[in-house]
A and B are shown apart, each in its own frame.
Chain A
Amino acid sequence: QVQLVESGGGLVKPGGSLRLSCAASGFTFSDYYMSWIRQAPGKGLEWVSYISSSSSYTNYADSVKGRFTISRDNAKNSLYLQMNSLRAEDTAVYYCARDTGYPDGGIDYWGQGTLVTVSS
């Protein structure tokens, strides 16, 4: 069965950095776009970034552009999110997610999420 397991979350000071990882299994990872989506405590969903199956195309929300970098390693079935210059408003649960196809698909599998807290 499809599994997405995030890791790397935690408490970080404003201005600091963190790298999230997502281990994928149960499907052919290299066939799919992948996304990061976040949800601040008690708030709605916010799309953060996606990456194409071969890493040739990436895109970012304006709120993270220039600070976050998405990447993947298809040989390791892994997705990453490098987060730099973190701000208090980046505090959220970060979900790794599989995309069925862009732009006419949807996000059909989600990880359990990893909490990132940015606070001094």
Chain B
Amino acid sequence: EIVLTQSPATLSLSPGERATLSCRASQSVSSYLAWYQQKPGQAPRLLIYDASNRATGIPARFSGSGSGTDFTLTISSLEPEDFAVYYCQQRSNWPPGDTFGQGTKLEIK
């Protein structure tokens, strides 16, 4: 099973600042990585798929990069509604099966 490790566990920033979230895979997943945002009491929302493609309706301040084992989600200028928990998900063909990272909580400083 491929393990995803997200860092940091918690990130404290202020609105307007830049956020950089990391996701590291235990082995290469090519570009098959997605990012999600989850707010309390809500289902997750797809932000990025295939490492760098924004999902429909996602603001341009969200961007994804990376390939192989190291991936980054960047939020260029934080809006109040961006404070939430973020998860990465790998979708590699081998070994088959998806896994999620443990999440990064983005909180207001």
Is this pair of chains taken from one and the same complex?
A: yes
**Cβ distance B40 to chain A, nearest Cβ, rounded Å:** 11
B44 pairs with A110, CB closer than 8 A: yes
Q: Evaluate whether A105 and B99 lie within 8 angstroms (CB atoms) in the complex, with A62-B1, A112-B43 already known.
A: no
Q: Evaluate whether A100 and B100 lie within 8 angstroms (CB atoms) in the complex, with A106-B55, A107-B34 already known.
A: no
A103 pairs with B91, CB closer than 8 A: yes
- The residues of A that contact B38 with a CB separation of less than 8 Å are 45
B89 pairs with A47, CB closer than 8 A: yes
- How many A-B contacts are there with CB distance less than 8 Å? 66
- The residues of B that contact A106 with a CB separation of less than 8 Å are 34, 36, 46, 48-50, 55, 89, 91
A45 pairs with B55, CB closer than 8 A: no
Contact with B along A100-116 (1 / 0, CB 8 A): 10111111101111000
B102 pairs with A104, CB closer than 8 A: no
**What is the CA–CA distance of A59 and B43 in the complex, to the nearest angstrom?**
22
**What is the CA–CA distance of A44 and B38 in the complex, to the nearest angstrom?**
10
- The residues of B that contact A61 with a CB separation of less than 8 Å are 97
Q: Evaluate whether A107 and B46 lie within 8 angstroms (CB atoms) in the complex, with A47-B89, A62-B1, A102-B91 already known.
A: yes
**Cβ distance A68 to chain B, nearest Cβ, rounded Å:** 13
Smallest CB gap from B1: residue in A:
A62
**Cβ distance A113 to chain B, nearest Cβ, rounded Å:** 7
- The residues of A that contact B49 with a CB separation of less than 8 Å are 100, 104-106
Smallest CB gap from A102: residue in B:
B91
Q: Interface residues, chain A, CB within 8 Å of chain B?
A: 35, 44-47, 50, 59-62, 95, 100, 102-108, 110-113
Q: Which 10 A-B pairs have the closest CB atoms?
A: A106-B49, A110-B43, A106-B34, A47-B98, A103-B91, A103-B32, A45-B100, A104-B50, A106-B46, A44-B103
